[in-house]
Amino acid sequence: MPDQGRSGALGATLNGPLLRLQHLTKQFTTQRAVDDLSLSVAPGEVYGLIGPNGSGKTTTVKLIAGLYRPTAGRVEVAGIDLHQEPERAKRLLGYVPDEPFAYERMSGREFLHLIGELWAVPAAERARKIDELADLFRIGSTLDAYVESYSRGSRQKLSLIAALLHAPRLLVIDEPIVGLDPESAARTRELLADYAARGGAVLVCTHTLAFAEAVCHRLGLLRDGRLAAEGDLPTLRALAGAAAGDSLEDLYLHFAARS
């Protein structure tokens, strides 16, 4: 697990956590997807949310991104209640969905400019950042084609760039490396680590345990909408009574088997 950087440009002015979930509950018609969930992510921290299918990870992420409204509880972004002051809170938030859909009849560049305009990034600045991030993810050559022609990986890169474009203080990413080639996956890992080192906070929801182990400072194992275990790797090992060399996959299987 990486070292945690707590100071930097992105989180410099905040003392408390950049993300705080308090007793968050989401009840669908017949199913409680998230059940009294509380957690927080500090500036400089990458928090990994892992768990089996249907454990409530994506619902939690959608609640944080403002796509769903909680049945009970609160989502705070940098101390701002997301559902009381959504526009203020969302300015600080970058979101990458699990399915990276974008407007099919727009070019990737147009889409990114639209995102920049929605988050009030000045035109010149966003043009520069688009080129910079497109170079980083090696997507520059396809950026002017309509999104309808993009592969899954290109769409994933596009939504990652879109989330980073306005330099958010909190990044919420649902499955960050699905569809990415190994090189781009490695770049994403470095980028998230660098982002956290500069004071940003990241909540990553993933099934790729090797990625989570490499990039996350703390992990939360979600089961039936509740946190079954939480902490850094040594803490999780201690909770599981595992040996020092046990991987996150061993711990995951241990907690999953216990459930």
Partner 1 sequence: MLVFGAVMVAEYAVFRRALFTIGELGAASAALTLYFLESVMVLIFVLALLSFVASGLWVYYRARDTRLLLAAPIPLGGLYALRSVETFTLTSWPLGVVGLPALLALGAAYRQDPGFYAYGAVVLTCFAALTGAGGALVTTAAGAALRRAPSRLVVAVTVAVLLVAFIALVGRNLVPSAVDFHVMFEPGTLNGKPASIKFIEGKFALWPSHPFAAALYTRATGGPAGSAATGWALWLAPLGALLGAATLGRRLYGRTLPAMAESFGPAAAAAPSPRAAASGFPRWLSGPIGALIERDLIAIARSPHELGRAAFIALLLLLYTSFIVIAPLREVADRPEAVARLLLFSVIASGYFITAFGLRFVFPSLSLEGRVAWVFFSSPVSAFRLVMARAALYVSVLSVVVVPIAMIGVVRLVREPGLVATMAALLLLLAATTATLLLAFGAAWPDFREPNPETLSTSGGGLAGTVICLLYVAGMGWIARQAALASTGGGSTVTWLAIGAVASVALITGALGLARWRLRTLEAR
Report the residue number, 175 or 213, with the smaller CB distance to partner 1: 175
**Would you say 145 and 99 are in contact if contact means Cβ atoms under 8 Å apart?**
no
Task: Collect all residues with Cβ–Cβ distance below 8 Å to 119 and sequence separation of at least 6.
Answer: 91, 165, 166
Q: How far is CA 143 from CA 38, 160, 165, 187, in A?
A: 39, 13, 15, 18
Report the residue number, 3 or 105, with the smaller CB distance to partner 1: 105
Please calculate the CA angle 248-58-158 and round it to the nearest 5 degrees: 95
Among 106, 178, 240, 256, binds partner 1 (CB under 8 A): 106
Kindly state whether residue 58 participates in binding partner 1, applying the rule CB under 8 A: no
Q: What is the rounded distance in angstroms from the CA atom of residue 185 to the CA atom of residue 212?
A: 12
Q: What is the rounded distance in angstroms from the CA atom of residue 177 to the CA atom of residue 152?
A: 11
Count of residues interacting with partner 1 (CB under 8 A): 45
Report the residue number, 155 or 187, with the smaller CB distance to partner 1: 155
Compute the least distance from the CB of residue 240 to partner 1, in Å: 35
Kindly state whether residue 194 participates in binding partner 1, applying the rule CB under 8 A: no
Kindly state whether residue 203 participates in binding partner 1, applying the rule CB under 8 A: no
Report the residue number, 130 or 221, with the smaller CB distance to partner 1: 130
- 32: which 2 tokens? 């409680």
Name the 3-class secondary structure at 22: strand
Compute the least distance from the CB of residue 115 to partner 1, in Å: 7
Kindly state whether residue 69 participates in binding partner 1, applying the rule CB under 8 A: yes
Q: Report CA Rg, the chain.
A: 18
Compute the least distance from the CB of residue 174 to partner 1, in Å: 10
Q: What is the rounded distance in angstroms from the CA atom of residue 8 to the CA atom of residue 14?
A: 11
Kindly state whether residue 93 participates in binding partner 1, applying the rule CB under 8 A: yes
DSSP track, 151-215: -HHHHHHHHHHHHHTT--SEEEEESTTTT--HHHHHHHHHHHHHHHHTT-EEEEE-S-HHHHHHH
Kindly state whether residue 128 participates in binding partner 1, applying the rule CB under 8 A: no
Build a one-symbol-per-residue string for 18-57: x at contacts with partner 1 by CB under 8 A, - elsewhere.
----------------------------------------
Report the residue number, 26 or 217, with the smaller CB distance to partner 1: 26
Residue ranges in 150-189 that form contacts with partner 1 under rule CB under 8 A:
150-152, 154, 162
Report the residue number, 41 or 251, with the smaller CB distance to partner 1: 41
Compute the least distance from the CB of residue 97 to partner 1, in Å: 5
User: Residue 8 burial by CB count (10 A; 0-12/13-18/19+): exposed, middle or buried?
Assistant: middle
By CB under 8 A, name the binding residues for partner 1.
Answer: 62, 65-69, 86-91, 93, 95, 97, 99, 101-103, 105-107, 109-110, 113-115, 117-120, 123, 127, 142-146, 148-152, 154, 162
